Amino acid sequence: MNASCPGPVDSTEAIRLQLRSWTEVETYLQSCKGVIVPLGSTEQHGPTGAIGTDALTADAVALEVGCRTGVLVTPPQAFGMAEHHLGFPGTVSLQPSTLLAVMRDVVLSLAGHGFERIFVINGHGGNIATTKAAFAEAYGEARRRQLSVAPQLQCKIANWFMAGPVFQEARKLYGDREGQHATPSEIALTLHLEPSLEKLQRPLPEAAPAGPIHGPEDFRRRHPDGRMGSDPHLARADHGASFLDLAATALCKDLEQFLSHQSP
């Protein structure tokens, strides 16, 4: 397979799978076997954060990485595993088994066309375990279906919010008030992407601290306004622009290594 990315493009149009024809995808596959799949969640993000935070942010980071590398980006999978947030209106969750089936089938569809490197850019911690399980199922099923790419197929989940430079910047800007859910870093990125969200921002009382996660009723009892130890009022749109750049820079490096077999 080609060991490098196609190279930077000027606009997202060029790398959005939704805007390409099948013949263009066929041509693309002759020089690059990599594809990016944005994965988010549709879940409450505290009283001042957008329900779509995890999907908006994952898609934005994926498109930025796509532009910088020329690697195709699929439509975002905007529903994730958010069972513990179902106590809050607006949350739409897939059960783990459903998300597993969705991600397995996404990987197998792409692998069937010859994609050998599936790079999932994820915006929600609750998706991680299930997505890794989906990869394990996809590898087995690709072998059973005798897909030609089965021996080469590799999938990776890259969590933009856990990238080293993003994590460090969030600590520097917000310290402990970054918290665990509805964090100022992710809210900052949504403010950069969607300025209209600024009007939701207001000071909030001290958030309940992070703790173990169980069912939706338990979660709402422990975290009455949905936040876990965070102060999203610290978020600024210009911080968001910086998080997008840091995340894209870190994930481009990951992706380039992943495509060239030098994944650590």
List residues near Ni ion by CB under 5 A: 53-54, 186
Q: Any residues with CB less than 8 A from the CB of 221 and at least 6 apart, and which?
A: none
Angle at 25 between CA 134 and CA 80, to 5 degrees: 30
Choice between 70 and 226, CB closer to Ni ion: 226
| Shortest separation between residue 4's beta carbon and Ni ion, angstroms | 32
The smaller minimum CB distance to Ni ion, of residues 56 and 250, is found at: 56
Q: Least distance (Å) from Ni ion to the CB of residue 26?
A: 36
Smallest gap, in angstroms, from Cβ of residue 123 to Ni ion? 6
Which lies closer to Ni ion via its Cβ, residue 2 or residue 201?
201
Indicate the residue among 53 and 130 with the shorter CB distance to Ni ion.
Answer: 53
Tokens representing 185 are: 């870093």
d(CA 235, CA 204) in angstroms, rounded, equals: 12
Residue 6 CB coordination number (10 Å): 17
User: Which residue's CB comes closest to Ni ion?
Assistant: 54
Residues 6+ apart with CB under 8 A from 3: 259, 260, 261
Shortest distance in whole angstroms from residue 53 CB to Ni ion: 5
Token couple for 188: 């900052």
Closer Cβ to Ni ion, 32 or 39, answer by number: 39
Radius of gyration of the chain (CA): 18
- Give me the least distance between CB of 73 and Ni ion, in Å please: 20
- Which two tokens mark 201? 């921002």
Query: Tokens 């969030």, residue?
Result: 170
Tokens standing for 167?
């994590």
Biggest alpha carbon–alpha carbon distance for the chain: 56
Residue 104 Cβ, how far from Ni ion at the closest point, in Å?
23
- Start-to-end CA span in the chain (Å): 19
Rounded distance, CA 73 to CA 16, Å?
A: 5
Judge contact between 197 and 191, C-beta under 8 A.
Answer: yes
Find the shortest distance in angstroms from Cβ 183 to Ni ion.
Answer: 7
Nearer to Ni ion among residue 64 and residue 186 (C-beta)? 186
Which residue, 186 or 256, has its beta carbon nearer to Ni ion? 186
